[in-house]
A and B are shown apart, each in its own frame.
Chain A
């Protein structure tokens, strides 16, 4: 994960957020958040009460007391607005820098003359490009918008988007043909066709999302809002009906006390932080260099049951590597290694290179193949090799190909080498048999190298309840071996694109949610079918459109992070809701005795916190209620840490921290504030 803008609060962000906090007081925008909207109504009522007192009303307590309550309520609103604003500002800051580069980009557009794209280049602003237009980019140019290379090849610096400084190669045709606006061409020249309408590019979508303009409430967020609105309604009933109860018992209760009781009881903490949590969730995905097409996709990621991963590049490092030399009986190891090295010196394949690597520098130093004839690999011979000037013919290839060669020349295939070949195969490796002048001299073992640390990641996923599935073109035997070694739960061997699709459909039939990552056009249907489809940024446009997230780093293990971000998002909401509701216990015990104590002195027994006076209690409760919001902003933005320790253990842990903590903290907080407030009274 990139670590840009690591600090939560930067000065310019805070200034912007402060300004927004006031603008967001507009009731029209605040109406979207029912809890804070009711607080705003309460604040307005308190303002009227203050005016009423100034006009001479005596029954509502002193002006200073009422005005203080009004100010604290106003701050409660501002704190909540600030939380949302700072979350937006953080996303926006990142998006703004991207947008700046784009708006100023000139595009070298190729003018369409008749039906042909004549090479007449006109420089136009990037904003005037429409879908289907073709433009040229040369070394040093910034690519004006998203598109597909139709001609040429170039190295491109994508650090503007990915933060990765190593340049990547993009070329026409195949799965690496798409380019992203805002990235820079480092070398060569490409002809690009625009694939999107203006304002719909990747960056535009991203900017809109983080700015919250197109942010829609996700299903879970809606359900939670209903729960919170329900709580608010209950407390409206509790507070409104308290009026006739108190009248019946001849207890005068001031408007300030009613409103304070109400504001303290409704879940303002979570209500104030809810949208900030949502924005921060998408922002965290963005910081992991994943662009989500909707907030819903992030949430769904947290629910994923099955994860489809490609073997190559995700579970194993690229290609197979030579891991062992096994000389045949009677052949010296050094001779065998020499033969292997000679046959591989001119071999450009990764396997060939890995043989040289395994042999080591010492073995290679004095060997040369000058004047030798290279024999290339063909599907017919299924072997490759070298004919040395001294007439020695070295071949390496598949077991049966070399055996045929050797047996036809009159040699017998050595038994122990044959056994070794079987052993290597059953261990998931690939045997590469080597012959010198048709005589078998030994066998090289090639193995898939499993990425270091990948087992732990799968273990982590398993604890989260996510089943991992490896997709590979290997035969079932090899696939099984690697699957076991890497610790994945299942595999699809000899996989064709439709196999992925069918697997996803089957799992979905069982009610599971499936995530997959893909890059090629042939992945597009499966990406669309999957509940969470993550396309690699290097992938084709079709793949990117089919998925609901795009990974800018092209890192296949990113899915794991995405799942955790999704879980974190839900957890942060859940724990803060619990905390907010648990707070009510202390607030009840603080305020209820305070309301009645003057009229019913015996209720002093309920004043278990030994608070100073009714006014000080009400003030300290609303102060606590207000300042708990800014205290929790960092948690809302960073998210609650997810630990894969099983659902029950996680619940126990969070219940202890946020549930029990939510009960205890306000008791202490209100008491401390009460002591402080009492000093001024």
Chain B
């Protein structure tokens, strides 16, 4: 088999192999069992809780959970705005980078806060080391918030009737210290040994072979890059993200970074099974997501490896695939694989230029974010998937002649209302955003580099990436202006918190309902048939509603290239 293919298959299988034990460990963390890190963190946590006066043993209902979540996020957002707008005057600024403008700071603070990391700046010149450190902090806590929210969901799915769903501070702190931190340390060390810098010194000056002097930006890159992937954040230290040679030096680090971004989303699925003792349910969810992932990945990798027919027509050798916008050290297959992994998982880090990808690859990247629940980001991916489970359970429950129920809880009008609003909102934000940008071209469309179908794809990508909290860019549009900063900023906020609050509200309401024991008439949700049902619901609701938009963008481009 082609070594390029072997490389990506290995990446997938290693991730899967590591994620199962990690899932077991995560389940242990959330059930409150002892972990190997307790001796280190327990005293620190105790001290922290004592000083802050937080009672981390108080059980909360879903509304209290969400109140804490929103309060923490508000504080971090305000802090972020202050730091970014004053960074030029603050310490740790060896390169003398200036303050951010208000609209860019608004967009940047939000985008790191919501685990999206849509970057409308370049790390080398746009931010100082202090800002980078604060952004790194946000990468930790935003992933921690997502994981903690998923932990609330886990708790709510237990077979009992209660309002009390654990303590949010406890889940959040544990997510950061017991899960994100140890995994990040491992990844950071590996990167460090492969040449990624970790320093607070300013730009390095080197003399090239030609005798020119070149200024090379450095900084605390290894730590930043580790959490960027482990927390499915994707915000690059440098402007070119993981295609930068210092952020992603070689094929090996590429594999490590790839595994790092997929491992927690994978592990969370298995953690659910270990936590509820329903491993079959985990495998059903994992299978549905994997089929979706493969359906997007395989054609993308094929399209990238086959190369561009128009370039081939010019008599240029394309045996290495479509190499425009790609790093030679990664190759077409690994770049294509990465582009789908980073979009399904909502990391949004890139190791190639998505704008240069083949039209069908572009469409698949878009679809990955439109669906936004094939694996998905840390914790939130599962919450998104939960909405589709609810919708699928409802329709299939009716089909077998029983009031629909999921894990022993009846799904009624109120839950349907919330599920439908959440499902609708993603479509609404993307399509309305694009409609405004195309409807007022002097604001949005005028900043495009490319006309026609490809330009349309660029706009579509920007809003899809924002609404999916992904943060990758198709790029090709001048996105640092008030229009893009403010519109995407608003989309980011809405599309982060609604898909967390919605599922948690449903889970909270269901947890408080009477538990119905299983009988022969109960529809089993861990079967292939039900998996197929969820897949169809996702395909029809999430994917098909974007069909007209896709037809005008990547599909039209694909057919006009033929």
Contact = CB atoms under 8 A, between A and B. Distances in A.
Nearest to B401: A567
Contacts of A1: none
A654 interface: yes
A248 interface: yes
Contacts of B541: 231, 234
A390 B195 CA distance: 122
Interface in A123-144: none
Interface stretch (B20-28, B29-37, B263-271, B426-434): B426-434
B370 interface: no
B516 A511 contact: yes
A487 to B, nearest CB: 14
Most buried by B among A219, A220, A575: A220
A248 B401 contact: no
B417 interface: yes
Contact of B396 (A235, A242, A574, A604): A574
Interface in B61-105: none
A647 B438 contact: no
Given A647-B524, A651-B533, A233 B401 contact: no
A648 B530 CA distance: 8
B400 interface: yes
A584 interface: yes
A511 B402 contact: no
Most buried by A among B400, B540, B555: B400
Interface string B423-443: 110011001101110110100
A119 to B, nearest CB: 54
A469 to B, nearest CB: 14
Contact of B391 (A222, A227, A305, A604): A227
B456 interface: yes
Given A237-B432, A648-B529, A651-B533, A223 B456 contact: no
A510 interface: yes
Contacts of B413: 219, 222-223, 226
A238 B548 contact: yes
B544 A465 contact: no
A596 interface: yes
A223 B394 contact: yes
A23 to B, nearest CB: 29
B395 interface: yes
Given A219-B412, A237-B427, A584-B544, A574 B445 contact: no
A648 B439 CA distance: 48
Nearest to B526: A648
Contacts of B556: 249, 596, 600, 602-603
A570 B556 CA distance: 42
Contacts of A596: 551-552, 556
Contact of A223 (B408, B411, B424, B514): B411
B522 interface: yes
B486 interface: no
B403 A577 contact: no
B554 to A, nearest CB: 12
B205 interface: no
Contacts of B530: 648, 651
Contacts of B244: none
Most buried by A among B402, B452, B540: B402
A241 B434 contact: yes
B403 A299 contact: yes
A566 interface: yes
A466 B521 contact: yes
Contacts of A402: none
Contacts of A147: none
A547 interface: no
A237 B428 contact: yes
A119 B556 CA distance: 92
B146 interface: no
A242 B559 contact: no
Given A227-B394, A511-B514, A585-B540, A602 B456 contact: no
Given A247-B439, A605-B559, A650 B552 contact: no
Nearest to A510: B517
B399 A575 contact: yes
Interface in B375-401: 391, 394-401
Interface in A287-311: 299, 302-303, 305
Contact of B398 (A219, A234, A464, A571): A571
A260 to B, nearest CB: 13
Contacts of A592: 547-548, 551
Given A222-B413, A464-B520, A602-B562, A248 B402 contact: no
B545 interface: yes
A283 to B, nearest CB: 17
A96 B358 CA distance: 69
Contacts of A229: 420
B560 interface: yes
B527 interface: yes
B520 A465 contact: yes
B519 interface: yes
A574 B435 CA distance: 34
Contacts of A249: 452-453, 456, 552, 556
B56 interface: no
A245 B438 contact: yes
A578 B427 CA distance: 21
Contacts of A243: 435
Contact of A467 (B399, B403, B431, B519): B519
B416 A226 contact: yes
B402 A570 contact: yes
Contact of B431 (A237, A299, A652, A654): A237
B412 A574 contact: no
Interface string A461-473: 0111111000000
B435 A577 contact: no
B431 A241 contact: yes
Contacts of B397: 570, 574
Nearest to B409: A511
A581 to B, nearest CB: 6
Nearest to B551: A592
B403 A570 contact: yes
A659 interface: yes
A220 B555 contact: no
A48 interface: no
A590 to B, nearest CB: 12
A647 B411 contact: no
A574 B529 CA distance: 16
A515 to B, nearest CB: 13
Most buried by A among B397, B403, B522: B403
B400 to A, nearest CB: 5
A647 B405 CA distance: 12
B498 interface: no
A428 B515 CA distance: 37
B131 to A, nearest CB: 36
A197 to B, nearest CB: 33
Contact of B435 (A245, A464, A570): A245
A243 B432 CA distance: 11
A584 B529 contact: no
Nearest to B422: A230
A220 B517 contact: no
A512 B549 contact: no
A224 interface: yes
A582 B544 CA distance: 11
Top 3 closest pairs, chain A to chain B, by CB: A465-B521, A574-B398, A567-B401
29 contacts: A219-B403, A219-B412, A220-B412, A223-B413, A224-B394, A226-B417, A227-B420, A230-B420, A230-B423, A231-B541, A235-B545, A237-B427, A241-B549, A244-B436, A246-B552, A248-B438, A248-B445, A462-B520, A463-B520, A464-B521, A511-B515, A570-B402, A602-B560, A602-B562, A603-B559, A604-B559, A642-B401, A647-B522, A648-B523
Given A602-B559, A603-B555, A650-B401, 8 more contacts: A219-B413, A223-B394, A244-B435, A244-B436, A464-B520, A593-B551, A600-B556, A655-B396
